[in-house]
Structure formats: C-alpha cells, structure tokens
Structure 1
Amino acid sequence: MKIADLHGRELGTALAEANYAVLPLGSLEYHGPHSPYGTDQILAEGFAELIDPESKPLIYPSIPFSPCPGKTVDYPGTVSIQPEVYIAYLRDVVTGICQLGIRNIVLLNAHDANMGPSRTVAEAVTAEYKDASFLLINWWQMAAVPFCEQQGLFQGTAGRGHGGPYEMSAVKALRPDLVAVEEEDEELDAISPLSPLPYVLVESAPSGWAGYTGRIQQTSLQAGKAIVAEAAKNMNLLICNWLEMRRKLSGERGTNDEL
C-alpha cells in the first residue's frame, strides 16, 4: 500500500492495517557512462516494490536527493545535499511518520552515503519516541559477498563497487532499458582489501576510479535477476524476523502491564 495513493478518508483504515512504514532512500548521482543518474532511486523503489505485501507495509515516496561523497560530487549531473540539511530533512520526514502512530519504520537504502545520516536520525528519533524501532536495510548487503562467486555470476571479481556489475546488473533486472554498457567503456579494478576485517576508507580520488569502478562488461540481466531475487528473499526474511520480534515484545509489555 502506497501512502501517496491514499485519499484522506482512507488514511485511518490504512494505518489500522499497516504493520510498518517503508521509506526508500536514494540519490541523484553519477554512476558512469553506462548507468542512470537515478540508479539509487531505482533500486530503493524497486526493492520497496518487492516487499511481501502480506507483511502489510505502508510505502512512502522515496527521497531522491542526498549527500554524495567527494569522489562523485564533482561529476556533472550529481546533486549533493549538505549532510546537516539531509539529516534535518530526514528527521522531519520520519517524525511525521511517527506522529501518525507508526512505530515500526524500515529505511530502505540504496546509497552508501545515506548510511551514516540514516543511523544518526534513527538514534535521535528513538530518543524521542521510546517505543519506535528502525530497521536500516542496505539492499546490496541482502546478498552475501560470496553469493556471486558461488553462483558463477562474475569472473575474477565479486562485482561489488559503485557503478560496478553487481549494482548495475541489479538495476538492469529492474529497468533493463536504462543500463547500456558499450565496448569502449573502461573497465576498472578497485584496490584489494586492506584487511579481512571491517574498516572504512574515505578518499576523493581512490585507485581504480572514474566516477564508477568495476569490470562493467560483465553486467548482465541474468546476473541481475539472480542478485535481485536473492536480495529480495533475504530482505523479506529480515523484515519478517523483525516484525515477529516486535510482536513478541509488544505481547510481553502487554502481559507486564496487566500484572
């Protein structure tokens, strides 16, 4: 159910039926000569459409503009919002959702630079609404890193990276008309990981970079369909587990209140 499609008289019924709200988070950002500027918006909205309707989501319009990193901000066509402005804006949006009485909110993200601000907003709003729960989902993490290798989707690469074959194959599965890799498009290899442990490396001009990275000639509809199916399956399982946890907690609180 999309809140933007509801009439005012329908809101009360919709709120009574919905288990949670979904807010897709995208960007307008350069993803290479082969990719649409709206890549992240397409992915955020596309995965929102793949949420199991039986879980009863109330889907909000996506946020299409967001902060962009130094490595893409200077490419023509990228629109970058100041982080402090984005945080204030996003907080107002989710506060408006909470004011309707909704306490379960999925932030469905498709843009790496949204991760920090989204966490900041979720922490701030849960300080105000003590019974609120935010599930931050980055779509690309819904398929494990070894998945592509296990499925034989890409050769000599995991495919991960901004504008790379993993991301753009997923876009191709959702919008096959919008991804167009040409023979002359340069393939790029990012640097090898510095450690098997998690870390964050921020640079405005990383190695193996031209506003995108990866062996993009391996982008394919077949790979995209497999990636999207796996990510959607795991996303829905995660949401189901989260909602079940919330139901159990709600039941425990109700029992304690009765005592």
Structure 2
Amino acid sequence: MNWAERTWTEFPADLATANYTALLPVGATEQHGPHLATGMDTVIADKLCRAVAEKTGALMLPTVPYGCSLGHSRRWPGTIALQPITLITLVKEIGDWAYSSGVRRLLIVNGHVTNAAPLRCALEMLRAEYDDLMVAVINTAQISQRVRASHCSDGDDWHANRAETALMLAVAPEIVRIDAIDGSDDPDRTAGLVFSHPVNRTSTNGVTGKPSLATRAEGAELFSWMVEDLSQLVKKAKQETPPLPNSYFG
C-alpha cells in the first residue's frame, strides 16, 4: 500500500480497500549529535508508517524528509530547516492533492517534535476547506503512554537520546556511529526555564539525554510498541465518523 508504487488505475480500488485512509509520514533533516545521522526523524517516520500500512491496509504517502528544525541553529552543520509557513503550505498542498485522489481520512505521522505546530496549522486549513475530510496529527514519540515514557526516560526535553539511539540501533544501524556514542551524553538543561531556547543554548554537542544507555534490544521493543499502538489508532481511524453530521459551512 505504498502510494509511490501504485499506478493511477489502481488507486480507486486501493482507497476503497483502505476505507479512504492514508498516512503521511513527516520527518526532518537535522543534526543528531556526533553519533546519529541527520535523517533520524525521517527514518523513524518512514519505517514506522511502512510497518503500520502493512498491518492496517492504509495507504502510505511518500515521506516528507524536511521539517521545521530552526531550533537546532547553524552551530552544527547538516541541518536543513524549513520555515514554519513553508511546512504548512507543503503539507496543505499534499493534502489538497490527496483529497483529489480520494483520501478522506488523513493521518499525518510526525517524527520531529517542532513540526507539531505547523502541522496543526495545516490540519486546520484542510478540515476548514473540505467538509468530508478528517485529519489527525500523531507525533511518533507520543503515540501512547508507554511510548512517551520511554522517550522521556532520560529527560523531559530530549534529542538524540537513549530512546532515539536505541531505535536506530534496532531499525537503522547504518546511521549510528557506534564509536561516537560513549561520551555523547549531555543533560537536559531546560528544567525551570521560562523561555524556549534553541539547542545551541541548551546542549554542548546537539544531544539532550543519555545515548550511552541505549541498547538494540530496547530499541526493538520500543519500535514494536510504536507499530502496535499506532496500528490500533489507524484501525480506529478507518472506521471513525464525526459525532454529528453537521456541515462546516452552515
């Protein structure tokens, strides 16, 4: 059910089988400390949605590899950041064309924390324009309580931490630099702060957390939780209808 591998003649039957449900994975290209490659957020969104599409029969749109990563600053090379308005416009226009193809249930699966606000704006625009389109934004680190607890095990603010490193050890070891993990730990310095500071003012090396504690086994378990819990949400979404049938337009 990979959108990019289907022909136009196959979409009507594909969408009917999926009950007009599609996943849009959104990632980012940004520094992840000295031990993880810049594609981490894109990799997790892509691999998670591929697994969930296979389990649920939902269609998976091509993964967006860029996000709103402005907070990572220009201190470390490798980050390619979109302005919030650019991401809003991009996702809104993807939604427009997905709707034209027949999608009526769109789940935007977000692999990067600070994409959340622009994606919510795109959601607002799409549902205000299309009366019969339902849209959700689901953040990969917050799919369920157990997934959220694992991501925050070494700090409320985290990046390239124990959980993310463990996930990559399990599902994409080729983007992990094993010999750079030791010595990469950097603490969460955000407790008690009033302002939201960019990463160059909260981390010495682009990491927030303890990647040294990561293991492949815990990454495999966490990924299995993410697939299971997101699959349950998608199965519910495939059957959901609005509580009331009232039109947005009056």
Q: TM-score range by the shorter chain?
A: 0.7 to 0.9
Counterpart for residue 162 of structure 1 = 159
Letter in 1 for 2:98: I
How many percent identity over aligned positions?
Answer: 23
- Matched residues in 2 for 1:26 and 1:49: separation? 14
Counterpart for residue 46 of structure 1 = 47
- The worse-fitting range, judged by mean Cα deviation, of 82-91 and 139-148 is 139-148
- Matched residues in 1 for 2:71 and 2:84: separation? 12
Unaligned runs of 5+ in 1: 254-259
Q: Relative to structure 1, is the Cα distance of residues 181 and 202 closer, same or farther in structure 2, using a 3 angstrom cutoff? A: farther
Counterpart for residue 190 of structure 1 = 188
Cα contact 2:110–2:137 (8 A) shared by 1? yes
Q: Relative to structure 1, is the Cα distance of residues 54 and 233 closer, same or farther in structure 2, using a 3 angstrom cutoff? A: closer
- The worse-fitting range, judged by mean Cα deviation, of 180-189 and 5-14 is 180-189
Counterpart for residue 203 of structure 1 = 197
Letter in 2 for 1:225: A
Q: Relative to structure 1, is the Cα distance of residues 236 and 101 closer, same or farther in structure 2, using a 3 angstrom cutoff? A: same
Are 1:83 and 2:84 counterparts? yes
Are 1:14 and 2:14 counterparts? yes
Letter in 2 for 1:113: T
Unaligned runs of 5+ in 2: 246-250
The root-mean-square deviation of aligned C-alpha atoms, in Å, is 2.6
Counterpart for residue 139 of structure 1 = 140
Cα contact 2:190–2:202 (8 A) shared by 1? no
Q: How much does 1:158 deviate?
A: 5.6
- Matched residues in 1 for 2:195 and 2:131: separation? 34
Question: Which of residues 238, 245, 250 in structure 2 aligns to 1:243?
Answer: 238
Counterpart for residue 70 of structure 1 = 71
Q: How much does 1:148 deviate?
A: 3.9
Counterpart for residue 256 of structure 1 = none
What is the CA deviation profile of residues 66-96 of structure 1, one whole-angstrom value per residue up to 9, with x for unaligned ones?
Answer: 2213334442111111221221111111111
TM-score by length of 1: 0.83
Q: Relative to structure 1, is the Cα distance of residues 73 and 83 closer, same or farther in structure 2, using a 3 angstrom cutoff? A: farther
- Matched residues in 2 for 1:71 and 1:106: separation? 26
Letter in 2 for 1:189: P
What is the CA deviation profile of residues 184-232 of structure 1, one whole-angstrom value per residue up to 9, with x for unaligned ones?
Answer: 533111036449xxxx952123434421211111121011011111122
- Matched residues in 2 for 1:166 and 1:2: separation? 27
Question: Which of residues 195, 202, 226 in structure 2 aligns to 1:231?
Answer: 226
What is the DSSP-based 3-state SS (H/G/I as helix, E as strand, rest coil) of the residue aligned with 1:134? strand
Q: Relative to structure 1, is the Cα distance of residues 73 and 141 closer, same or farther in structure 2, using a 3 angstrom cutoff? A: farther
Letter in 1 for 2:5: D
What is the CA deviation profile of residues 7-58 of structure 1, one whole-angstrom value per residue up to 9, with x for unaligned ones?
Answer: 2322222222222011100111000110011001100001102215353211
What is the DSSP-based 3-state SS (H/G/I as helix, E as strand, rest coil) of the residue aligned with 2:109? strand
- Matched residues in 2 for 1:124 and 1:212: separation? 34
Q: How much does 1:123 deviate?
A: 0.5
- Matched residues in 2 for 1:237 and 1:44: separation? 17
* Larger Cα-atom Rg: 1
Are 1:171 and 2:168 counterparts? yes
Give the number of equivalent residue pairs: 241
